[in-house]
Amino acid sequence: MAVLMLLAIGAVFLQVRQQRYVATVVTVAMDQRLAIQRITDGTANAISGDLRANVVLRRTADEFDWNLRALREGGLTFGSPGSASDLPEASADIQSQMDRIDRIWQPTYGNVTVVSGSAPVGVQVRELALQVTNRFSDFDIALENAQKTATAVDRAALADIGRVLGRVRLQVLAIAESPKQTAPDLAANAEHIDAVLGALLIGEPGPDGAALRQELLGPVDGFAALWEASSEDIKTLIPLAEEFAEGLVAAREIAGSSVPLLREISVAVDLLDQESRDKVIQIQWFLLAVTGVFLYICALAMWVTWRTIRPLERLTRATTIIAEGDLSARVEVGSRDEIGMLAVAFNKMTEDLQRRDIELAAVNDELEAFNYSVSHDLRAPLRTIDGFSQALLEDYEDKLDDEGKDYLGRTRAASQRMGVLIDDLLNLSRVTRGDLRHEEVDLTAIARKVVAELEEGDPERQVTFEIAEGAVTMGDPNLLRAVLDNLIGNAWKFTGNHPTAKIEFGITEDGGQPAFYVRDDGAGFDMRYSENLFGAFQRLHGMTEFPGTGIGLATVQRIIHRHGGRVWAEGEVEQGATFYFTLG
């Protein structure tokens, strides 16, 4: 069962992972469709010599390539959970579609690289042309300066240079666009300027002689210096422009072959998109099915639980009723499973309990009758013995000697003592009968009352009492009164042979719960016999020493046990005794 659960959880986890992945594929596929559109447009623009389109084209192609690789191998930056190869089951179709796209893409990507490869040359051509044309205003000033001092012949030459220079300017600007047509003319014009300028500088002597030539030489030299640099630039520009033109021709050819490929990729990406969406829907159905099965299992589990819980509830209810004392309660047995068997066993147990309860009640009744007999019938003959002994003593006094009177005295004492014993025995049995009350009892107040009564009974005694405050507990007030009566009464009795005494009622702790104690500094007892202390009619002291029947501590023990507590004693001969008790 646990293994099945683990497998199910594993399958759901895998499906969720796949769904996330395929959802990513859908998102990326949408991007890729746009990218293909941009690449198609960008290629068209690039082969028309649009340098900006060229740069964008390259970037778009790089992005497309990166996304494609990321989808296939994993590592998409926006948190893709894995790659197609990690999830073979989910993406068999998707993967084959991507493989197909990749197969078409690789040559296309190469083409795009070639197409965008002409861009750097184009940029260089543009910059060079701009550098050359920027100097033309300087050319104009230099030529004007030369004209001012030129002879008629020189003037004609300078004008020629100015004219050709105008054409050169236009041709430099145009060379980037149409290097083939422009390059030869530009080269020829540049050479022409070189030739005219050279002739001008070497020159034939004019009609005015060398003096005029000297004047002209300065400004023409200035122009020549400017032109020299531009001439060099133009010489560099011409082959570059030709190279750019050749690149564009190649790009056009390649772009032409890319168009069908791009169209094919576009279709493949559409298919990928469609298949991914199908896959997402498929996975969603799967998850829906799994959720359905899960809910069904939950409902089943709840039903089984309910079926199990209901009899248990009935069992609990019956137990509560029985615990409250009604032993006639039974559980309805509804099933033949373990719980049904438990119910049968429970009913059997309750029947046994009920039978035993009836038996116990009978025994208890007998005990009551016995107690009554003891109380009534045993006392009557005792009274007869005592009464007629007394009658003998009174009526036949003159016929009895001292010994005879002593014997009759002993007979009377014994019968009276037996009367007391019977009374004590009845009191002890009464302690274990009847209902136990459970209410708040102020032991401090009870101890004070007991002490007051003792002091009243024998005001001569010198006894110091120490009674702890706040000894409040739960229990039966009458029975707890009997406990303190006995314990404090004993303390009072067993300190009787000392001129002064101290009796203490206090609270301590035993195993985390409050324990009460009564301590005296009286006759004490030998710890070796401490086990005998609580037995009925057990006495550790001689009758003549301290009176009593030995029933008090047995009564105390019974009361404490009925409260679910514990009673124990510590003592030493002539060093006093301490009696501790707890109450459940």
Say whether residue 387 binds another protein (CB under 8 A): yes
CA-wise closest residue to 563 among 487, 482, 464, 490:
482
CA-wise closest residue to 444 among 516, 495, 493:
516
Piece of 30-38, 169-177, 389-397, 470-478 that binds another protein (CB under 8 A): 389-397
- SS3 of residue 204 by DSSP: coil
Q: How far is the CB of 456 from another protein (least distance, A)?
A: 22
Q: How far is the CB of 419 from another protein (least distance, A)?
A: 3
Pairing of strands 576-581, 500-510: unpaired
* Triad 126, 132, 134: Cα angle to 5°: 100
Looking at the Cβ atoms of 38 and 412, the one nearer to another protein is: 412
What is the DSSP secondary structure assignment for residue 436, as one 8-state letter? P
Looking at the Cβ atoms of 44 and 374, the one nearer to another protein is: 374
> In which element (H, E) is residue 535 found?
none
- Cα 270 to Cα 35, 274, 279, distances in angstroms: 12, 6, 14
Among 415, 490, 495, 557, binds another protein (CB under 8 A): 415
CA-wise closest residue to 471 among 555, 564, 581, 554:
581
Q: How far is the CB of 433 from another protein (least distance, A)?
A: 10
Q: How far is the CB of 581 from another protein (least distance, A)?
A: 26
CA-wise closest residue to 518 among 503, 530, 508:
503
Say whether residue 418 binds another protein (CB under 8 A): yes
Among 106, 335, 384, 513, binds another protein (CB under 8 A): 384
Q: Find the binding residues for another protein in span 419-458 (CB under 8 A).
A: 419, 423, 426
Looking at the Cβ atoms of 228 and 395, the one nearer to another protein is: 395
- Give the integer Cα–Cα distance in Å for 457 and 469: 24
Rg (CA), the chain: 63
Looking at the Cβ atoms of 56 and 378, the one nearer to another protein is: 378
Q: For the window 390-409, what string marks contact with another protein as x by the rule CB under 8 A?
A: xx------------------
Looking at the Cβ atoms of 284 and 384, the one nearer to another protein is: 384
DSSP secondary structure string for all residues of 28-63:
HHHHHHHHHHHHHHHHHHHHTT-HHHHHHHHHHHHH
Q: Find the binding residues for another protein in span 467-496 (CB under 8 A).
A: none
Piece of 270-278, 295-303, 333-341, 412-420 that binds another protein (CB under 8 A): 412-420
Piece of 65-73, 356-364, 413-421, 490-498 that binds another protein (CB under 8 A): 413-421
Q: Is 468 exposed, middle or buried (0-12, 13-18, 19+ CB in 10 A)?
A: middle
CB atoms within 10 A of CB 141: 13
Say whether residue 370 binds another protein (CB under 8 A): no
Looking at the Cβ atoms of 124 and 375, the one nearer to another protein is: 375
Q: How far is the CB of 467 from another protein (least distance, A)?
A: 31
Looking at the Cβ atoms of 59 and 383, the one nearer to another protein is: 383
- Give the integer Cα–Cα distance in Å for 506 and 470: 10
Q: How far is the CB of 379 from another protein (least distance, A)?
A: 4
DSSP alpha helices (H): ranges in 433-551? Answer: 443-457, 477-494
Applying CB under 8 A, the site for another protein has a residue count of 24
Q: For the window 321-360, what string marks contact with another protein as x by the rule CB under 8 A?
A: ----------------------------------------
Contacts of 128 (CB under 8 A, 6+ apart): 233, 236, 237, 240
Residue identified by tokens 């192609």 is 61
Say whether residue 381 binds another protein (CB under 8 A): yes
CA atoms within 13 A on the CB side of 463: 29
Among 204, 324, 338, 377, binds another protein (CB under 8 A): 377
Looking at the Cβ atoms of 377 and 398, the one nearer to another protein is: 377
Q: How far is the CB of 380 from another protein (least distance, A)?
A: 5
Say whether residue 38 binds another protein (CB under 8 A): no
500-510 sheet: strands from edge to edge: 462-467, 500-510, 513-520, 576-581, 567-572
Looking at the Cβ atoms of 190 and 428, the one nearer to another protein is: 428
Q: How far is the CB of 343 from another protein (least distance, A)?
A: 41
Piece of 227-235, 325-333, 380-388, 490-498 that binds another protein (CB under 8 A): 380-388
Among 163, 383, 410, 437, binds another protein (CB under 8 A): 383
CB 88 within 8 A of CB 98: no
Q: How far is the CB of 404 from another protein (least distance, A)?
A: 18
Q: Which residues bind another protein (CB under 8 A)?
A: 371-372, 375-377, 379-384, 386-391, 412, 415-416, 418-419, 423, 426
